[in-house]
Amino acid sequence: MKLKEFAKQLGLSPTTVSRALSGYPEVSEKTRKRVAEEAVRLGYRPNINAVRLVTGRAGAIGVVMGRNEFQFCEFMSGMAERLDSEDIDILVSPVAVQDTKAEIQLYSRLATSGRVDAVIVHSPKPNDERILLLHKLGIPFLVHGRSETNVPHAWLDIDNEGAIRRATSHLLDLGHRRIALINGRDGLTFTLHRDKGYREALEQRGIPFDPRLVAHGQFTDEIGFRFARSLLEQSPRPTAFVAGSMMTALGVYRAVRSLDLVVGRDISVIAHDDVFPYLTADNMAPSLSTSRSSLRAAGARLADLTLQLLAGRPASEIHELWPVELILRESTGPAAEAAQ
């Protein structure tokens, strides 16, 4: 059913029907109501591509999906939830991890192709090329995370620095002095923020920073295991770990057990948890103490902010920093040395 035909059946002009459906003020309440009801009854829906052509809007938000990011689904699911009631789709593009050149090209294509009205930038660096590019191209974009580029941009981030500072401080309170940090990929802002939080906590107690206790890499089980295992084989070994993700924590748990040590007694562990339905900190053995923030909620909110940005809210006004909960469970306990 097309507009023309639908309008004819109602005895109205296409103009009026279009206006009624789009909520323009000049249509009488009576007409609007009638049009809305008949549209449902007769199953009329505007052709989305015609609407997009004529309005010049793409009706989609672009997101670029790296390879190894299990977190991504949760984030996107949150976005999709918020956009469900809007006529806005999510357009997904894949990119090989750490192929910066390909990634820049992809963002460039995305921005100039006219397929999206806005783009989401993930895991930014302090001086992120993508942000400069998108700003130059003039396409609206939002950053999930933060960056120090001096072009104005909208962002939403969690307080990574505070989260890791508190996690580390808590371990220090428990008497731990050799605390290892398994952080994210090197050079990313959130990684730097976490490094910073870690060092601040140490500094506050006058504990010297030891770079050998810090590792960077992707959030995989394997990296968690390798680094934890190698550190635990040294002497003196760390008595606590701050892990960057649930997957990393799985690896750390495994490394601890492989040396016949016990998490929560011999070795304390705190991890950052993005809240996954299929793997929960409470269910681990022992249950895992976490700094926790919902990726799904962040996705939903970022979708919301994107709509605001597209509606004209200035990017320079859109900045949200979310606090992170610290939830103590069984994986943290007094330092073994302190107990001896």
Partner DNA sequence: TTGAAAGCGCTACCAC
Partner DNA sequence: GTGGTAGCGCTTTCAA
The residues that touch a copy of itself, with contacts defined as CB under 8 A, are: 43, 45, 47-50, 52-53, 58, 60, 65, 67-70, 72-73, 76-77, 80-81, 84, 89-94, 112-115, 218-222, 225, 247, 250-251, 254, 257-258, 276-280, 283-285
**Closest to DNA by CB, 14 or 175:** 14
Q: Which does 60 bind (CB under 5 to 8 A by kind): a copy of itself, DNA, none?
A: a copy of itself
Interface with DNA includes 54 (CB under 7 A)? yes
| Cα 248–chain centre separation | 17
Give the whole-angstrom CA distance, residue 18 versus residue 237.
71
**CB of 159 within 8 A of CB of 324?**
yes
Question: Least distance from C-beta 83 to a copy of itself, angstroms?
Answer: 9
Q: Which does 138 bind (CB under 5 to 8 A by kind): DNA, a copy of itself, none?
A: none
Interface with DNA includes 56 (CB under 7 A)? yes
Question: Least distance from C-beta 47 to a copy of itself, angstroms?
Answer: 6
Q: Which does 2 bind (CB under 5 to 8 A by kind): DNA, a copy of itself, none?
A: DNA
Question: Least distance from C-beta 152 to a copy of itself, angstroms?
Answer: 25
Site for DNA in 146-165 (CB under 7 A): none
Paired tokens of 307: 């709509």
**Closest to a copy of itself by CB, 196 or 265:** 265
**Closest to DNA by CB, 45 or 212:** 45
| E-state strands within the chain | 60-65, 89-94, 118-122, 141-144, 154-158, 179-183, 214-216, 240-243, 268-273, 289-292, 319-322, 325-327
CA angle 137, 142, 144 (to 5 degrees): 135
Residue 269: exposure state from Cβ atoms within 10 A (0-12, 13-18, ≥19): buried
Give the whole-angstrom CA distance, residue 142 versus residue 121.
6
Please report, in angstroms and rounded to a whole number, the separation of the first and last CA atoms in the chain: 79
Give the whole-angstrom CA distance, residue 122 versus residue 63.
8
Where along the sequence are the contacts to DNA (CB under 7 A)? 2-4, 11-16, 18-19, 21-22, 26-28, 30-31, 45-47, 50-51, 53-56
